[in-house]
Amino acid sequence: MSAMGRLREIGRRVRRELEVYRLVLKDPRTPWMAKALLALALGYMLMPFDLVPDFIPVVGYLDDAIIIPALVFLALRFVPKEVVQDCRARAEAACAQQAHEKEDGLMSETAGKPRSVKRDLAIIVGIVLLLGVPSLFTRDLWAPDEPRYMEVAREMAVDGDCLVPHLNGDIYPEKPPLFFWMAGGFYKLGMGTNGGRVVTILAMIGVCLLTYAIARKGGLGQGALTAASVVLSMVFFIHYAKRGVIDPLLTFLIAGAVVAGYFALQPTAARRQLLWVACYACMGLGVLAKGPVGFAVPALILLLYAVLNRKQVRAGGPLHIAGVLVFAAVVLAWLVPALIHGGAEYSRIILLKQSAGRLVDSYSHPGPFYYYILRAPALLMPWTPVLVLAVLAGIRAWRQDREALPLLAMIWLLLPIVFFSAISCKRSNYIVPIIPAAGLLCGWYFTSSVRREGRFMRVETWLLRGVAAVLALLILAGAVALFVIKARPSLLPVDDPRDVQATNEVLAWLTPAHVAGALILLAMSLGFVLASLLASFENARRRLVMLMAGCVLLSLCFDLTVTPAFDAVKSGRQICEAALKHTGPSADIRMFKSDFSGTYNLYTGKTRMPILADEQALREAIEKPGVVVIASETGLKGVLKPDEIKQYCLYKEGVGHRTMFLLGRARAEKRASPDSNEGPPAPAAPAGTTPEQ
């Protein structure tokens, strides 16, 4: 037996002995003297002070090692032997029953006490809030997507035009309006620029609850919480639970359609018509969230599942007519008035360019066919190895027993990857809808009988140990890097002036208190990951819980320490506040050659900022008192000479990958140097607020 095995055996024996003493203490046949001595032993163990102080090396613990066993031994001398033997037999039987019910580390709901659904739901909701809420207060919206979508929602809320989205006062035909309606509604309710991220958090809660629901109703029992836990600890989920973009909402609607359709296809389904109506309604709302993909993906998943499992499903027949009518009503209720209101150009873009154009010949984000094959494994970590085994186990279960749930999960996982691989436009966020499928497949795998056959468990354990070891090394490397960066910043290989400025801003935020907090959270995360690494082959439940806890704590560490440090580099709030300071009450702010994804509209509170298209317009604007122009370093190349940029520069800041300039005539005699951030406004407002328009 290995050293770890011996330690685990010792731990089991100690727990069994403690259970014996507990039963002896509660047994009515135990004399009062024995109970008093056992209580005295327990009290001495918990007492905050000892006869010999613990801080004395070695000797400080001798009293505990002598007095407590002596009291226990003396107490047992007063207890009749038959009582001790009976309690020991009961303790051993209880331990054996518990080991039998674990079913390789995952408690079976039918073997033991049923889990509380309310407790499971509270755990799920609490972890999602822990993942998503901190970033609402520790960072602004980061370009390009977050500020763009929130600005569109803000303009919709401010101007009252709910049919056709607008950005910087112009029609924005890139996306349908559902996300903007919801984000704008939360903006009006006082959430400010956090409105989009609130929509994301609610959508991700819905995704986890739907994963839990289909797993529980599908017969997984305890595997339902396992499925939700896998979703919660996935890199993909943790990343997008913090971002105010459309894809989490689309994922929730696709999951709703798939779950409703799956239950409607069951031969014994109750309220089949209502389920199909809910399925088509979710697909209609998916179209309002992100176009035809909201219908195509869930429809293809359900169609392929029904075809492969045709002997065990009821297709629904005429019930689809009512569903199609609901789908058409949901989509056309917005589409027809929007096309009339938006005009011919809006109709052409929303119907052709944003659908057929992206499918065949994308004008943005083109990628090779293997794009997702390279990225999906990293995004699905730390459960990628388990998913590979789960797919193999699912194929075996389908061939042997025709199990329906793993078949649906595999189709749901793989079909979107194939679908989006065939499209010319490729981005990682397009495959966010596979997140619930990955959790469902892992939840089924951990509770399946196939897992206990062959070498699945042993291979799974070694693969997850490898993942935990890599994660532990990354945490250690991050802790060392954080300490070295703060202690010896001169070691950083930074030469570019833009990188130097960004590095100085990050280091200014990383105070010793912040670094200490980050190191504490990293140490806690490392502890859970190491516990997962050292978990036994049989105890899969402990390994899963420890790994999930490590991932959640690592996310919290980033949100509270690392993310705020980079917010000054990624956010455009500071340059907007500088612009408002230099323009005064008139707030005449203009942009050069670009709308910059709505970032500067959002943080200046202006729904319309003129865009200067050429050099002449730029020169005329920066010569006017009270007028400032926001321009990028790239846009100014070949337009203004370096000396002219220095002459008119009021403020300079790195925003994401761009170096941004605020150009104009200074209102005060003192002008900020273009190589410094001297003269910015008062400290930035809290994240989630905007200046008054």
DSSP element (H, E) containing 373: helix 371-379
- The CB density around residue 185, as the number of other CB atoms within 10 Å, is 16
530-532-536 Cα angle (round to 5): 115
Q: Could you tell me the pLDDT band of residue 11, with boundaries at 50, 70 and 90?
A: low
Per-residue burial over 210-235, b = 16 or more CB atoms within 10 Å of its CB, e = otherwise: bbbbbbbebebbbbbbbbbbbbbbbb
- Bigger pLDDT: 668 or 215? 215
pLDDT in tens, 607-644: 888 999 888 899 888 888 888 999 988 888 888 888 88
pLDDT digits (tens, 9 = 90+) for 299-325: 999 999 999 988 888 887 888 888 899
Average pLDDT taken over every residue of the chain: 80
What is the Cα–Cα distance from 178 to 333, expressed in whole angstroms? 12
Identify the pLDDT of residue 441. Answer: 93
- State both tokens at 661: 């300039």
pLDDT above 90: residue 112:
no
For residue 471, with 0-12 CB atoms within 10 Å meaning exposed, 13-18 middle and 19 or more buried, which class applies? Answer: buried
pLDDT of residue 413: 94
Predicted local confidence at residue 250, as pLDDT: 95
- Kindly state the average pLDDT of the residues 330-349: 87
Instruction: Output the pLDDT for position 407.
Output: 92
Q: Is the pTM of this model over 0.75?
A: yes
Residue 670 confidence (pLDDT): 42
Both ends of the chain: CA-CA distance in Å? 72
- In sequence order, the 6+-apart residues with CB closer than 8 A to the CB of 556 are 130, 131, 134, 521
Least confident of 39-48, 162-171, 408-417, 520-529: 39-48
Report the distance separating Cα 124 and Cα 383, nearest Å. 18
Examine the pLDDT at 650 and tell me if it is beyond 70: yes
User: Mutual orientation of helices 293-308 and 404-421 as an angle, nearest 10°?
Assistant: 140
Top-confidence residue, 403 or 353 = 403
Residues shown for the chain: 693
pLDDT band at 493; cut points 50, 70, 90: low
Q: In which element (H, E) is residue 661 found? A: strand 658-664
pLDDT digits (tens, 9 = 90+) for 458-484: 788 788 888 888 888 988 888 887 777
- Between CA 376 and CA 146 the distance in angstroms is 22
- DSSP per-residue letters across 389-423: HHHHHHHHHHHHH--HHHHHHHHHHHHHHHHHHTS
Say yes or no to pLDDT of 108 above 90.
Answer: no
Considering just the CA atoms, what is the radius of gyration of the chain in Å? 31
Beta bridge partners of 588: 627
The residue that leads in pLDDT, 603 or 482, is 603
pLDDT at site 514 = 77
- Summarised one tens digit per residue, pLDDT across range 68-89 is 777 777 777 778 888 888 888 8
Which residue ranges make up each domain of the chain? 3-102, 117-453, 458-565, 573-664
Nearest Cα residue to 18 out of 49, 42, 47, 44: 42
The mean-pLDDT minimum among 255-269, 376-390, 466-480, 532-546 falls in: 532-546
pLDDT band at residue 66 under the 50/70/90 scheme: low
User: So what's the pLDDT on residue 52?
Assistant: 47
* Token reading at 380: 């699905």
* 403/182: higher pLDDT: 182
Residues 185 and 171: their CA atoms lie apart, in Å, by: 20
Kindly indicate the confidence band of residue 495, based on its pLDDT and cuts at 50, 70 and 90.
Answer: low
If phi over 0 gives left and psi between -120 and 50 gives alpha, with beta otherwise, what is residue 180?
alpha
Label the pairing between strands 588-592 and 627-632: parallel
Task: Report pLDDT digits (tens) over 200-249.
Answer: 999 999 999 999 999 998 888 878 888 999 999 999 999 999 999 999 99
- Which pLDDT belongs to residue 5? 56
d(CA 194, CA 313): 43
Identify which has the larger pLDDT, 239 or 492: 239
**pLDDT in the model for residue 288:** 94
Structure token pair of residue 234: 């996935």
What band does 33 get if pLDDT is binned at 50, 70 and 90? confident
